[in-house]
Amino acid sequence: MTRVMSFDIFDTVLTRLVGAPDRVHHLTGQHLCAAGVITVSPAAYAAARQHADHDLGARWGHPAPLAIVAAEVVVRLGLVPVAAKALVDAELGVEREVCRPVPGAVERLATARRRTGRGVVFVSDTPLPEAFLRELLAHHHLLEPGDQLFGSADRGADKHGGGLFDVVAAELGERPEDIEHVGDNRHSDVVQARRHGWRAHHDARGSLNVHEELLERSASDTDGVSSRLAGASRLARLDAVHRGADPALAALAAGVGLPLLVGFGAWVVRQARLLELDRLYFLSRDGEVLLDVAAPLAASARAVTSCHYLRGSRLAWNLPSTAAPLGRNRDEWLHDDRDQRVVSARLKLARLGLTPEAAYRCCGSPLLAPWQADRHLSADEQRELYELLAVGPLADQLTRTANEQHALMLRYLDQEGVTAPGRVGIVDVGWRGRINRSLEEVLRSADRPLPAAHLFVALLEDARSLMGPDLHDRSRAWLFDESRHRGVQRVRNSDIVMIESFTKSSQPYTRGYEVVGGRVEAQLVEAVDAAAVQAVLADYRDTVSMGIVALLEGGPVEDGLDLASVVWRQLLAFWRRPGVTEALAWGQLPWSEHYDGHDHVPLAPPLRLRAIAAGLRAEGVAWRPRSLWRAGTAAASSPPLRAAQRGFAVAQIQARRVPKIAARLRSEVALRRGP
């Protein structure tokens, strides 16, 4: 029978707003530098503090009291002896600032007290004094009368060596087998507790996961910001799971989505200051989550730039741009099929804000019959469609609609302040800036002021030619800009899907504009995949919001710091090598090539034996699964099918290498042949 419940403290009932515990020493060094107590850098102080703790612990056989550690640091740094108190006070102050209760810990402790009918016991390996630990636990409502606490520094023994478990059992007067311990460290909290007769359970929820550890490893490269992101990720993840979110989805939202959104949001805020922008407009729908993150970052940095949400889309802006005197021809939108594997009448018409049903009613062409609108069009059928849109009743209807929407779009932009005096920035994900070009063509046609800047997550290589040189010169990209050969390298086409998956929205599409009660409002069309998207993204968005709150509790994100490289490593580590639970959670996100979410499919559907057999019969070794995220599909499939797909991938790689080997052999033979 369990008579006593014992708990580790750090990363079991308390956690920190930073990743690794050693980051506390760096923050302490920053406080001491600001106060003029030390003259070395925070990094040098942190190193001295860690070495002193390690050396004293090795000599004493357990963590030395903080006061002794501080006195040793004073000697090593050549400070006056009275500075030791300032070092202790600074470290305790930082611990007060960064410590937070693990979500759900209060409830778990209450359950333990009810189970045993007595107070719980806290056992910790730490140089911090017991009196301070009591203060910390009480401040976060984790300590109640009747609870007992044992700290290794004050007791002269530690959990790592196992002696502290004997000390606790002796003082409690309990048999070891009647004490049950819970902690996050496998060796100190589980192995050693069991060796000394206790029952023990491993609770690693508060430990850093793989995404958070990757962030923590970049702490020195980011002046500690990635460590703050690791701590915020952990706290948001724990909070989300405590509220009932899927653990795998919460881990991805906090450990991958949050760094991406914070990195871009901080860059946008910095660009707004550098370019002296008065207002930022985040384009729907991808801009929804970007705005949710950038707005609090701007407020935390006390930026003067205001942030707004702007309703717009390719559906709403492409057609009005064709009514502008200097706008592009409609055919440009219709001929651009680079992103589509299936070219159907529905997809073609959607670019002009038309449905097959409406087009069929207008002109009666069998080509536009709704019952065949989703089949692949041949080259001749595409030419026939272009002719229908160039002349005749359908073309006339498009011209009238373009002119009407052109006027309404201008009224909407005026109403939302896009054309008001001041410098405006437009924020979007990317990739080629075609929707931004449509916006500017409409503005230019009415002699309205153009945006001072367009800010993107990334731009592709052909962005300059599609945007035009003037618009391109006023555009900037953060993560990568292939058109200028800047930023991280985009390796695969699926990287676009990867990034867009973390900014995906379930909000309605903007089809156009209409006047409602004297105001111009967006005509919204509910996406076909909205319910399926919302089912995946609800917990994702909530977790990101929790992460932003936790991050900003530690202060604003440092200005001038670029997180692009760190974020890219986070993204690729997940996208190239997802875990099974991650692939199952994120792979169910719906994806569609249609503007309205029509014919959506999962991002990474698991492989089926029948599909593999059919693919091999049709394409042989060149077969690849129909998946937007192949690594996710492999991870989500059963182990035999996963191994089969990876084998196919290796075979494909080797097949591509064979011609190169032959070419090298021919070159070597030519070299050895002589002149």
- AA identity, residue 457: V
pLDDT value for 622: 62
How far is it, in rounded angstroms, from Cα 290 to Cα 502?
Answer: 10
Q: What DSSP string describes 41-65? A: -HHHHHHHHHHHHHHHHHHHSSPPP
Pair of tokens at residue 90: 């600074």
Strand partners, 310: 283
Helix (H, G, I), strand (E, B) or coil at 137: helix
Q: Any idea which residue has 């996963």 for tokens?
A: 642
Report, as an integer, the average pLDDT of 341-370. Answer: 78
Is residue 666 scored above 60 in pLDDT?
yes
Nearest to 283 by CA among 414, 416, 428: 428
Radius of gyration of the chain (CA): 30
**pLDDT band at residue 345 under the 50/70/90 scheme:** confident
pLDDT value for 526: 84
Q: Which residues contact 643 (CB under 8 A, 6 or more apart)?
A: none
Report, as an integer, the average pLDDT of 549-557. Answer: 92
Cis bond leading into 431, ω under 30°? yes
Report, as an integer, the average pLDDT of 156-178. Answer: 95
Q: Where are the beta strands (DSSP E) in 460-580?
A: 475-481, 486-487, 509-516, 519-525
User: 177-194: per-residue pLDDT in tens?
Assistant: 999 999 999 999 999 999
How far is it, in rounded angstroms, from Cα 497 to Cα 505?
Answer: 13
**pLDDT band at residue 650 under the 50/70/90 scheme:** low
Q: Any idea which residue has 């592709």 for tokens?
A: 460
509, 529 contact by CB (below 8 A): no
CA dihedral 180, 186, 192, 197 (to 10 degrees): 30
How far is it, in rounded angstroms, from Cα 328 to Cα 323?
Answer: 9
Q: What DSSP string describes 327-385? A: PPPHHHHHH--TT-SS--HHHHHHTTT--HHHHHHHH--GGG-GGGTTSPPPHHHHHHH
Distances (CA, A) of 98 to 28, 398, 554, 605, 609: 11, 60, 7, 41, 51
How far is it, in rounded angstroms, from Cα 533 to Cα 471?
Answer: 33
How many whole angstroms from its chain centre is CA 51? 35
Distances (CA, A) of 384 to 96, 376, 396: 72, 14, 17
How far is it, in rounded angstroms, from Cα 266 to Cα 274?
Answer: 12
Pair of tokens at residue 329: 């021809």
User: 388-432: per-residue pLDDT in tens?
Assistant: 877 788 888 888 888 999 999 999 999 999 999 999 999 999 899
pTM of the model: 0.89
Four-residue CA torsion sign, 48, 54, 56, 59: negative
pLDDT value for 602: 87
Query: For 657, how many CA atoms within 13 A lie in the half-sphere containing its CB?
Result: 6
User: 73-88: per-residue pLDDT in tens?
Assistant: 999 999 999 999 999 9
Pair of tokens at residue 469: 């040189």
290, 282 contact by CB (below 8 A): yes
User: 427-445: per-residue pLDDT in tens?
Assistant: 999 899 989 999 999 999 9
Is residue 517 scored above 90 in pLDDT?
yes
Q: Are strands 199-202 and 306-310 parallel, antiparallel or unpaired?
A: unpaired
Report, as an integer, the average pLDDT of 366-392. Answer: 81
- AA identity, residue 203: D
Q: What DSSP string describes 217-269? A: HTGGGGTTHHHHHHHHHHHHHHHHHHTT--HHHHHHIIIIIHHHHHHHHHHHH
Element of type H or E holding 35 = helix 23-35
